[in-house]
Structures are given as C-alpha cells and as structure tokens.
Amino acid sequence: MLLSGQVEPVVILEDSDDDFDTVCEAIRRMGIGPEVCRVTDGDACLTLLSQRTAQLPALVILDLNAPGTDGRETLRRIKLDPAVQRVPVVILTTSTNPRDLDLCYLYGANAYHTKPVRYPDHLRAVEVILRYWLGDVTRASSVVHAS
Amino acid sequence: MVFGRARLVSTSQPAAELPPWEQGPYSIKRHGLSISNCDAEPVQTPGCIQAHGAMLVMRRDDRIIVQVSENSAAILGAAPELLLGASISVVVGVTGELRLRDLMARTATDANPLYAFTMEPRGDAAPLDVSLHTIDGVAIVEFEPVAHGGGIPKDGYELVKAAVGRLRGATDLQHFCTIVAEEFRELTALDRVLVYKFHEDGHGEVVAESRRDDLSPWLGLHYPAADIPQPAREIFRQLWIRPVPDVDGELAELVPLVNPDTGRALTMTYCALRGPSIMYTEYLRNMGVTAGVTMSLRHGDKLWGLIAGHHYSGEAHLPLPVRAACEMLAQIVSLQHQAVEAQEFLGYRLKLEGVHQRLIAQAAREGGLAAMMDGPPMLLDATSATGAALYANGRWSRVGVTPGDDELDALARWIATRTEFQSPTLPVYATDRLADAYPAGASLTAVASGVLAVPLSRSRRSLILWFRAETAQAIRWAGNPDDKPTVPGPHGMRLTPRRSFELFLESVTGRSLPWQSVEIDMALRLRTFVMELVLSHAERVADLNAELVRSNDELDAFAYVASHDLKEPLRGIYKYAHQLRDDAALQGAEQTVKLERLMRLTVRMDSLLDSLLHFSRVGRMALTMEVVDLNSVLAEAIEIVDARRSERRNEIVVPRQLPTAFCDRIRVREILTNLLSNALKYNDKPVCMIEVGFAEPHEQGNTTGRPAGTRGLTAYYVRDNGIGIESRHADQIFNMFKRLHGRDEYGGGTGAGLTIVKRLVQRHGGEVWIDSVPGEGTTFWFTLAQATEH
C-alpha cells in the first residue's frame, strides 16, 4: 500500500526521547514522510488538536504514562470532544496492566499496543501501526464537512 | 402495728350476698363490724367522724349547711335539725362566715385543709379551732377543741427549722431515719415513734425508732403486708398526716349520711376528724395503743414507708400548729430521705462504674470479653456478688464461686426464655430466690440463690451472670404472720386484728440478699458498654478491611508503575546495544559478544519484571469457583506446552480418568501448565516420561511428604522421570526467582513458575509438596481445597 502523498500529520504523545527516536527511525526505514508532531504531555496534545480542528491529523499515538495530564485522560477528552473524536487514537505503552487495557477501550481507543523491550520488535510494532492506520485503513475525512 | 390486719376468710358470707352498705351509704358505726376483707373497706367515705370534734358540710356558693355531725349539740351547742338548711353564720357568726368566704376566695382550699380561726368558748367549754377545705363542690368545716399540750412551743416554723438542721447532719440513711424518729417524738411528745419501711413484697420493717425508755424495742421487727390494707396505703399517697387522738373515742355519724343535693357519700379523705376503721382501732388497742398519729414517707408518688407515733398513756390531742409542723416536716423528710438514699446509691454506683469502665478498657485493650474475667480489676470487685460467669465466644469464664459449666449451660438456656430477659429496652433477670422459679436451682442454692443476668448480644447467647450465695436469714416477725383470727359476727365469721405480737422467728432458706436497684442498673449499664465495645470492634475491623483493600490497590498500582519505569531504561539499553552491535560488526568479535551479552541481560530483566507482575496479579485476582472436569483442563494445558514438547521426545500418561474438582478452571490450568513445563524442562533422560494422576482421600497415593492437614482431601500429582531435586533444596524451590541450575541450563526461565503454582494452590486453600529422588524424578503433589479437619 502506497503511503506517499500522505498530507495529514501524525501526532505523537511521547515523553521519552529514546522511544520517540525509535518511532522516527521506523518512519525513516519505511521510507515515508508524514509530518510528525511530537508533544510530551497531555495538555500540549489537547491544545494542538484544538488548534487543528479544521484539518485533523491522520493519527494520534499516545503513551499512557505522560507527565501532567496522562495518556488515559488525554484519550478520554479526545473521545468526548465532537470536534476531534473521529481521529484514530492508538495507544503505544509499556503498561500491560489489564486495567489500563479495559480503561482505554472503554474510553474509545482504536487500538492498544505494548512497547516490546527488544529494539527490532519495537521498530516492527511502530511500523505495523503506521502501515495499518496510514495505509490499510480508510479513515474518516480529515476535513470537517458541514452537515 | 399501724392498721388493722385482716384477710379474707373462706368461712365468711356467701359470695352472692352483697356487703350491707352496697344497698345504702356506708357508715363505720353501722357496718364497721361486718368487714370480711379490709381491702374492700371504703375508708375514704366512712360516714363518721371522731366525736371529740364536730363537723359541718356547707354548699360553697351560699354557705347553707347540708350535713352535720350528730354530736353538734355537744360541741357547737345546736342539734343537727336546727343547723341543717341554715347559714353557716348560725354557728360561726357573720364575721366568721365572711372569713370562711374570703379564705375560699383567696386560697386554694381544694383538698387542702387550712386553719381559719379560733372560736371563742361558749360558757365553760374549750375554745374551738376552725379549719376548712373544699371538695366535690362542698366546703367541710371542722371544729376541734383547742388542745393544751404542755410545753408545746407556739411557732411551728421554728420547730421545723431546728429539726431540718439536725437532719442535715445525718451520715447515712440509717442515721437519717433515727434522727427522723427522734425529731417527731420531740415534736409530738408521744411515747414511741417508728420509721417503718415497705419492702418490695409489701411487708414492713421497723428501721428506726425513738421510745420511752421503759418500752420494749421494736427495731428490726417485720410486719406482714396485710397489717396495712391496700385502701390505707392509697390514702397515704394523698395525705401527709393522719391523727387518731383517742383510740377509745366515740364515733359521730353524719346527718344525713349522704349529701341531699347529690345523693352521694362525703369524701372525707382530708378530714382531720375522719372516723377510723374499727379494724384499725381494735388493732391499736390490741397493741396497747391509746392514741396515734401516722405520717407518710414518700419518694415521688411511691409510698416508701410511714412514720408512726404511738401513745400508751391516754389521749394525745396534738395542737393544730404541731400537726402543721409535722405535716411540713414529713414533706421535707420525704425529699431529704430520697436525696440521702440517692447519695448512698451514688457512692456505690460510682464504685461499680469505676470497676466496670476499667474492665471494658481491659477488654478493649486485650481484644476479648474474657479479659474481663482475668483481672485485676475483676467483675466481682465492688459488687457484693459471690461469683460471676461470662459466656462469650462459645465458652464460659468464671470467677468466684459459681455453678459448673453444665449447670451454667442449663441455667443460661432457662434464663433466655424469661420475658424480662427478652425485654428490648431493659433485658435483665434478677432474683434472690432462684429455686422458687427454677426447679433445677434447688441444688444450687449454696452458690446461686441469687442470680442477676444481662445478655451481651442481640441473640442473647452471650451473657453475664452474677451469683449470690444463700444467706441464712431469720425474719423477726411481730407475731405469727400466718395467724388469722376470726370471731363469729352477725354475718358469719368476721375478721379481727391480730392479738399476739410476740416475737415470731421465721427461718428462711434458699434466699440471698436481694439485688439492689443500683446493682441492676449497673448490670444494664455494663451491658451497654460491652455492646458498644463489640460494635466499635466490628467498626474497627471494617475500617482495617477498607484500609487493606486500599493498600492492596496501591501496591498493585505501584507494581505496574515500577515495572513501567524500569522497563523504559531497559528498552533504551537494548536499543543502543543493538545499534552498537550493528555498527561493531566491523570492529571485531569481542565487542559483539559483550553487546549481545548486554542485550540478553535486558531481555532477562524484562521477563523478571513480567513474572513479578504476574505473581502479584495471581495473589489479587478473585477466583471463579466452579465444578471443573480436570481431564479437559489437562488437555488444554498440554496444548499450551506443545511448543516445548516438540523440542524433545516425551510421553504424557494419565493412568485413570481425572475426577471433577471445585476450582478456578483458568488457575488450575496454569498450575498444570507450569508443572508440565517444569517436567519437560528439567529432564536428562532420552525419553521424558510424565504421569498425571490423583489419590483419593482413602488412598495412600505413594507419597511421603504429605502435610497432615491435607488428609481427607483428594491430592493431584504430576510425576516425571527427570533430574530430581535434592532434599536440601526442597524448601527453596517455591521461592520467588529461586533457580537450582544455571541461568541458561534446562532452557532458562525466571524461577517464578513454582512460586506462582504455590500461590495458586494456596488461593484454593490447598497445599503443594514434593517427593523426589535425585536422578530418578520428582512428583509434585497438590490439593485444591481447604482441609476440614484440624
């Protein structure tokens, strides 16, 4: 599936530089070039989204354990906000806590992935996410239509 | 003693025949000798007065005389027929009439006799004291010759004040009563004054007396309840003083006997001249009494006792001021007596309460009601009980002298059926004569004639009992209480008062000292304390539980956060090592080996963290218990370990069908998965042989290490022909992260598998143990239920 010509950006909530670097490496290896907007806390993520309601991002990737407003609360607010709730939100986290799993799906997460410790596995996880959500899936239009 | 004593006698008139006065108004003079039952005598409407005075009854509004005592000619100088229908002024003059009218207008005269004035003497007769009170719409005017008591001070107020001052010096109730007797004798100048106390069963006892020196003492004598009939007691709840100045005096009947306006008999309750019952005067006469006065001693509405004055040397006319002083003093004495008694109770009460509070504190500190019996202090301290027993948590604790456990069981069961013990507000059972109500108590009188019991729980199974031993008692009766003299009368046998007052000793068995109301109160209060303690204990347990749940949750959250935070650097380390290794391919094999070692360490650390998390979850998750077919569970477990099975030759044998078990299917599958996986791993034989089976309760099952508590349960096993475990290691294999072999031997692993097995088995209430021969194999045994024995 062609991923070029992708215009909408991908928003990533990730407070770890190392893990963000892994995401960038995965994108580089895939040879695609979506704009990546990185935020390091939940409030920044919500602010960014509220400024982009005219043209929403293609995908939001959330780490759960972010400083300040964490990923769980960020997810909840995104899915409660009619202006942004149709953006796919994918959780990429270290947590294997079943409570987190239940909570995220309850709040409306589109997918839940755990970060593997092995680097190649981690790269593959990011690649799978991006390939699926930027390529395989038909997403809702990023432009808001008056209804 | 005070009043005539009489009982209903079976030989009296036929029941169908009404008492003669039922057909017309009652008069002592006409009917007083026909009384067969003193409790029925209409003493408040006797129709007669004591003839040393005279009485007029007039209408309130026009002061016309409607009834006159038949002796009016002798006292007032005019026969009844001259007075009836006339104005009261005919007797007291116009001025007198005005003063009586003013008295009625200005003061509350209803049921309240007041001195009005003294009438000048007619000729050589004595002057007359006139007093008045109103009742039922009429005014009763009484005329009494002024008494000349020798040396009587005139001021009643001064008399009372001095007496009250002396009463204040009383040290205790007994002392107080003695002062009362002395003060009243001083005031009345009578030969003997008694303070007479009513016991619970109505019989009386002389608790204090003051007497002329030559008279024999009556102190401590008991008198049967019937000596003071019910109607007399009723009057003393309304009246403070009752004089009978001449026991041998004549009676004068009212003319007419009923009020002509209403047709009703006159209520004479408050008349100082009210005619006494013949039974009463005969009774006094039998005791040699020639004049008497009685005052009541009350606690609120309750008649506590009487203060009785007896004279043995002729008439005793107490002047009006003295009677007024007596009346006032009786009221003050009643109030102070109650206060002194309360004071005495309070001291005892405080002592008991102090002990009880220390007991409760002790029980609270040591977490058990039985601590109340260990002492000091002890349940028996401060009380005058001789033994106590507490039933709590299914067993008796005893202190002092008590019945044995079996006797206590039976007694407790019987007490639980008493209605007073089941009262929702004041559940208490108290007796000073257990054997009277409880036949089995006859053999317990030596230790438990008296029993006081309060329940400590709503179910009434837990309770406290106090015991009192039998007290050898002899009651000193004034005369045989069962003496019932009768004499022939106009309507068959009639009762007469007792004639003998000779000391009669009655010895009493099977009784203890009675429980005082303060002791019963304190038992009930102790019960309240205990129930609050039990309640607060339950609350504390609930609080601790809530606390535990919270701390468990926190621990859980902590485990996840910790593992998350630990994993993040691990991921970084692995990543950079990985990248370095890719770059280092050029630099040489040595660095490559080191980097790969670094990466293996991070992976291992990762699995340790996962195991730790899993273990914490195993301890927390609720089990879903159901009846499970273990054969299907085993099949699933075998499927899960399939990957490992493919690595070597193996055979899993199930010698007989597994039974069903009540357990959590998923957790038991995990137990089997771990044990199978261990059996496959730790094996050096060419073919790995695994046997899965069970031993029913009656089977030995060929195991040596079986814990005693598991006998009676089905035990399951997984047996292998693997490397075995040396017995010195047997205890350690279930420890977290404990490995007996090198990290990379036997396929590696975190060393958490058996720890998790043990935890899962324990969650089911079961136990896990091993039998092993090094080099030959190991059998892992486990049970899945709580042992019921032990």
Task: List pLDDT tens digits, range B270-321.
Answer: 999 999 988 888 888 888 899 999 999 998 888 999 999 999 998 898 888 8
CB contact under 8 A, B574 and A119: yes
Average per-residue pLDDT for chain B: 83
pLDDT at B1: 42
Contact present, A62 and A13 (Cβ < 8 Å): yes
Give per-residue burial for A92-122: e unless 16+ CB within 10 Å, then b. bbbbbbeebbebbeebebbbbebbbbbbeeb
Q: Span B190-218, mean pLDDT?
A: 90
CB contact under 8 A, B575 and A122: yes
Q: Which of A65, A119, A123, A126 to mutate to test the interface with B (most CBs of B within 10 A)?
A: A119
- Range of weakest confidence among A46-50, B168-172, B558-562: B558-562
User: How distant is the Cα of B572 from the closest Cα of chain A, in angstroms?
Assistant: 6
B572 in contact with chain A, both atoms CB, cutoff 8 A: yes
pLDDT at B38: 66
| Position A147 pLDDT exceeds 50 | no
User: How distant is the Cα of A50 from the closest Cα of chain B, in angstroms?
Assistant: 30
pLDDT at B3: 43
Best CA proximity match to B476, nearest among B510, B504, B511? B504
Average per-residue pLDDT for chain A: 86
User: How distant is the Cα of B682 from the closest Cα of chain A, in angstroms?
Assistant: 27
Residues of A contacting chain B (CB within 8 angstroms): 16, 18-19, 22, 65, 93-98, 100, 115-120, 122
- Strand A36-39 with B492-495, pairing: unpaired
Sort out which chain A residues have CB atoms less than 8 A from B578's CB and list them.
118-120
As a whole number of angstroms, the distance between CA B223 and CA B478 comes to 6
Name, of B15-24, B85-94, B140-149, the range with top average pLDDT.
B85-94
CB contact under 8 A, B571 and A115: yes
- Strand B48-50 with B204-211, pairing: unpaired
Beta bridge partners of A77: none
Which of B564, B574, B617 is facing A118, going by the closest CB pair?
A: B574
CA B28, B33, B38 angle in degrees (round to 5)? 85
Best CA proximity match to B530, nearest among B391, B380, B374? B391
| Position B36 pLDDT exceeds 90 | no
- Residues B432-447 pLDDT 10s: 899 988 998 888 888 8
Contact present, B775 and B703 (Cβ < 8 Å): no
Query: In chain A, which residue's Cα lies nearest the Cα of B558?
Result: A97
CA-CA-CA-CA torsion sign (B216, B497, B70, B40): positive
Q: Describe the strand order of the beta sheet including B650-653 as a list of residue ranges.
A: B650-653, B688-695, B715-720, B777-783, B768-773
What is the ipTM score, two decimals? 0.76
| Position A29 pLDDT exceeds 80 | yes
B620 in contact with chain A, both atoms CB, cutoff 8 A: no
DSSP B209-267: EEE-TTSPP-TT-EE-GGGS-HHHHHHHTT-SEEEES-TT--EEEEESSB-TTT--BPP
CB contact under 8 A, A97 and B560: yes
- Strand A111-114 with A89-93, pairing: parallel
CB contact under 8 A, B603 and A18: no
Share of chain B above pLDDT 70, in %: 87
Sort out which chain A residues have CB atoms less than 8 A from B560's CB and list them.
95-97, 100
Scan residues 527-566 of B and list those with Cβ closer than 8 Å to A: 560-561, 563-564
Secondary element (H or E) of residue B396: strand B395-400
Q: With bands split at pLDDT 50, 70 and 90, how would you rate the model's confidence at B643?
A: confident
- Helix A119-130 / helix B517-584 crossing angle, nearest 10 deg: 90
| Position B64 pLDDT exceeds 70 | yes
CB contact under 8 A, A16 and B564: no
The phi and psi torsions of B147 (rounded to 5 degrees) equal: -85, 145
**Residue B537: alpha-carbon gap to chain centroid:** 21
| Position B386 pLDDT exceeds 70 | yes
| Position B4 pLDDT exceeds 60 | no
Query: In chain A, which residue's Cα lies nearest the Cα of B596?
Result: A118
CB contact under 8 A, A122 and B564: no
CB contact under 8 A, B571 and A97: no
CB contact under 8 A, B570 and A22: no
- Range of weakest confidence among A63-77, B11-25, B560-574: B11-25
Sort out which chain A residues have CB atoms less than 8 A from B603's CB and list them.
117-118
User: How distant is the Cα of A71 from the closest Cα of chain B, in angstroms?
Assistant: 14
Beta bridge partners of A37: A11
As a whole number of angstroms, the distance between CA A64 and CA A16 comes to 12
Q: Please indicate whether residue B191 or residue B525 has the higher confidence score (pLDDT).
A: B191
CB contact under 8 A, A118 and B568: no
- Return the number of CB contacts < 8 Å for A and B: 48
Scan residues 263-282 of B and list those with Cβ closer than 8 Å to A: none
Share of chain A above pLDDT 90, in %: 44
pLDDT at A1: 44
Query: In chain B, which residue's Cα lies nearest the Cα of A22?
Result: B575
Which of B561, B567, B613 is facing A117, going by the closest CB pair?
A: B567
The phi and psi torsions of A99 (rounded to 5 degrees) equal: -65, -40
Which of A65, A97, A119 is facing B578, going by the closest CB pair?
A: A119
Best CA proximity match to B149, nearest among B380, B294, B311? B311
CB contact under 8 A, A22 and B561: no
pLDDT at B499: 61
Q: Span B3-16, mean pLDDT?
A: 39
Sort out which chain B residues have CB atoms less than 8 A from A16's CB and list them.
568, 572
CB contact under 8 A, A65 and B602: no
- Sequence-distant (6+) residues with CB within 8 A of B539 are none
Six-digit token string for B769: 């143990």
Best CA proximity match to B629, nearest among B680, B663, B679? B663
pLDDT at B11: 37
- Range of weakest confidence among B107-121, B466-480, B551-565: B551-565
Cβ neighbourhood burial of B758 (10 Å; 0-12, 13-18, 19+): buried
**Any idea which residue has 């020798």 for tokens?**
B150
Q: Span B144-151, mean pLDDT?
A: 68
**Within chain A, how many helices (H) and strands (E) appear?**
5, 5
B579 in contact with chain A, both atoms CB, cutoff 8 A: yes
As a whole number of angstroms, the distance between CA B448 and CA B435 comes to 9
Sort out which chain B residues have CB atoms less than 8 A from A18's CB and list them.
568, 571-572, 575
Six-digit token string for B211: 């007497």
Kindly calculate the radius of gyration of chain A based on its CA atoms and give it in whole angstroms: 14
As a whole number of angstroms, the distance between CA B640 and CA B633 comes to 11
Virtual torsion, Cα B479, B483, B486, B487, nearest 10 deg = -50
Half-sphere exposure of B333 (CA within 13 A, CB side): 33
Share of chain B above pLDDT 90, in %: 29
DSSP B11-67: TSS-TTSPPGGGGS---HHHHGGG-S-GGG--TT--SEEETTSEEEEEETTT-BEEE
The phi and psi torsions of B133 (rounded to 5 degrees) equal: -150, 160
Best CA proximity match to B318, nearest among B270, B269, B248, B246? B246
Query: In chain B, which residue's Cα lies nearest the Cα of A117?
Result: B571
Which of B570, B613, B617 is facing A117, going by the closest CB pair?
A: B570
As a whole number of angstroms, the distance between CA B433 and CA B510 comes to 6
- Residues B514-524 pLDDT 10s: 888 888 888 88
**Residue B258: alpha-carbon gap to chain centroid:** 52
Q: With bands split at pLDDT 50, 70 and 90, how would you rate the model's confidence at A2?
A: very low
B603 in contact with chain A, both atoms CB, cutoff 8 A: yes
Which of A18, A95, A100 is facing B572, going by the closest CB pair?
A: A18
- Residues B692-730 pLDDT 10s: 999 988 887 777 778 877 878 899 999 999 988 888 777
Best CA proximity match to B430, nearest among B476, B402, B466, B386? B466
CB contact under 8 A, B571 and A18: yes
Q: Which of B563, B565, B568 to mutate to test the interface with A (most CBs of A within 10 A)?
A: B568
- Range of weakest confidence among B498-512, B614-628, B769-783: B498-512
DSSP B626-645: EEEEHHHHHHHHHHHTHHHH
Six-digit token string for B642: 């399939």
Best CA proximity match to B603, nearest among B579, B625, B577, B631? B577
**Residue B45: alpha-carbon gap to chain centroid:** 44
CB contact under 8 A, A94 and B568: yes
- Residues B445-466 pLDDT 10s: 888 899 999 988 776 678 899 9
Q: With bands split at pLDDT 50, 70 and 90, how would you rate the model's confidence at A144?
A: low
Query: In chain B, which residue's Cα lies nearest the Cα of A18?
Result: B572
Which of B560, B568, B574 is facing A16, going by the closest CB pair?
A: B568
Half-sphere exposure of B144 (CA within 13 A, CB side): 24
Sort out which chain A residues have CB atoms less than 8 A from B572's CB and list them.
16, 18-19
DSSP B260-304: TTT--BPP-TT-TTBPPPHHHHHHHHHTT-SEEEEEEEEETTEEE
Is the backbone peptide bond immediately before B153 cis, with ω within 30 degrees of 0?
A: no
Secondary element (H or E) of residue B552: helix B517-584
Sort out which chain B residues have CB atoms less than 8 A from A120's CB and list them.
578
Q: Which ranges of A31-97 does DSSP label H, i.e. alpha helix?
A: 42-51, 71-80
pLDDT at B640: 86
As a whole number of angstroms, the distance between CA B67 and CA B59 comes to 10
CB contact under 8 A, A117 and B571: yes
- Range of weakest confidence among B176-185, B195-204, B302-311, B614-623: B614-623
- Strand A59-62 with A10-13, pairing: parallel
pLDDT at A89: 96
Give per-residue burial for B301-328: e unless 16+ CB within 10 Å, then b. eebbbbbbbbbbeeebbbbbbbbbbbbb
CB contact under 8 A, A119 and B579: yes
pLDDT at B589: 73
| Position B243 pLDDT exceeds 80 | yes
CB contact under 8 A, B578 and A122: no
Scan residues 99-158 of B and list those with Cβ closer than 8 Å to A: none
User: Dmax over Cα atoms in chain B, in whole Å?
Assistant: 159
Sort out which chain A residues have CB atoms less than 8 A from B571's CB and list them.
18-19, 94, 115-117, 119, 122
Q: Span B339-368, mean pLDDT?
A: 80
As a whole number of angstroms, the distance between CA A81 and CA A79 comes to 6
pLDDT at B526: 86
| Position B768 pLDDT exceeds 60 | yes
